[in-house]
Copies of this chain bind each other. A is one copy, B any other.
Amino acid sequence: VTAEAVPRVPLSRDRVLRAAVKIADERGIEALTMRRLAEELGAEAMSLYYHVANKEEVLDGVVDVIIQEINEVVGRIGTPARGADWKKAMRERILSAREVLLRHPWAPRVIESRTTALPAVMQYHEALVALMRGGGFSNDLAHHAMHALGSRALGFSQELFATGGPVRAPEPAELEAMAAHLPHLAGMLAEVAHDDPGSTLGWCDDQTEFEFGLDLILDGLNRLR
């Protein structure tokens, strides 16, 4: 029985947050409840409250963990010499951030729900503003730019509707039915589905669309610079 009674690793804020990320990664964000989080750590739900004020703080912390992961990755990206190509560097940072988020698909939604200005996010933004300033942006334009990018700065863009899993191409029969009420939409989807039949992420490749939108904004900013 003493073999069973091996001293458990004590809880800590850090362990709690890491376990929370693990649960969200493995079972989705809706599986992240205080009770399940405690279970994952071999403790009771009430024990968590000694290390964390409440669930909101868990969610804040979870976002902080993810953004820290992003900061580590983009920290390895070089800064261009002053005046050199800010756009390339910014693009690289943003696409790298996106790669991290693709490993935590539940994260964008949680990030958006936070109202606290987390240190890790501030740090991420600092680097982007520094890049733009180095590239000749006025403070005013850099400020506009951050708003124009919005969540794209962190590597994700809000689609109109959350797709619960990969989007499947519309069936010909569906397009036919659509054509009556929504001729332009049906025509567009038919053509796009046809032109791009085997793209990796479904009938419209999110990565391609993300980069299209990103470049549209970055190019526009470059013109205003």
Contacts from A to B (Cβ < 8 Å): 109, 111-117, 121-123, 125-126, 129-130, 133, 139-140, 142-144, 146-148, 150-151, 153-154, 157-164, 178, 181-185, 187-189, 191-192, 195, 204, 209, 212-213, 216-217, 219-221, 224
Give the residue name and chain of the B residue nearest to A117 (CB).
B161
Complex contact B195–A140 (CB within 8 A): yes
* 14 additional A-B residue pairs with CB within 8 Å, beyond A109-B112, A112-B158, A158-B158: A112-B160, A113-B162, A114-B162, A115-B161, A121-B161, A133-B188, A139-B192, A140-B191, A143-B188, A143-B192, A146-B160, A147-B204, A148-B212, A151-B159
Beta-carbon contact of A115 and B163 below 8 Å: yes
CB of A69 to closest CB in B, whole Å: 17
Contact between A142 and B188, CB atoms less than 8 A apart: yes
A-B contact pairs, 7 of them (CB 8 A): A122-B181, A126-B183, A147-B159, A147-B204, A153-B160, A216-B220, A219-B220
Whole-angstrom CA separation of A133 from B152 in the bound complex: 27
Least CB distance from A93 to B in Å reads 14
Q: How far is the CB of A137 from chain B (nearest CB, A)?
A: 9
Shortest distance from the beta carbon of A100 to any chain B beta carbon, whole Å: 16
Supposing A148-B209, A191-B140, A216-B220 touch, asked if A126 and B161 sit within 8 A by C-beta, the answer is no
CA distance A139 to B143 in the complex (A): 33
B139 pairs with A150, CB closer than 8 A:
no
Q: Given that A185-B125, A195-B140 are known contacts, is A150 also in contact with B161, CB under 8 Å in the complex?
A: no
Tallying the copies of this chain within the complex gives 2
CB-based closest 9 A-B pairs: A148-B213, A147-B209, A139-B191, A216-B220, A129-B184, A126-B182, A139-B188, A115-B164, A130-B184
Q: A157-B150, A161-B114, A217-B217 are contacts. A133–B184 as well, Cβ < 8 Å?
A: yes
How many Å from the CB of A129 to the closest CB on chain B? 4
The answer on a CB contact under 8 Å between A182 and B143 is no
Cβ-defined contact, A115 with B162, below 8 A? yes
* Distance to closest chain B CB from A112 (angstroms): 6
Complex CA distance for A162 and B151, rounded to whole angstroms:
11
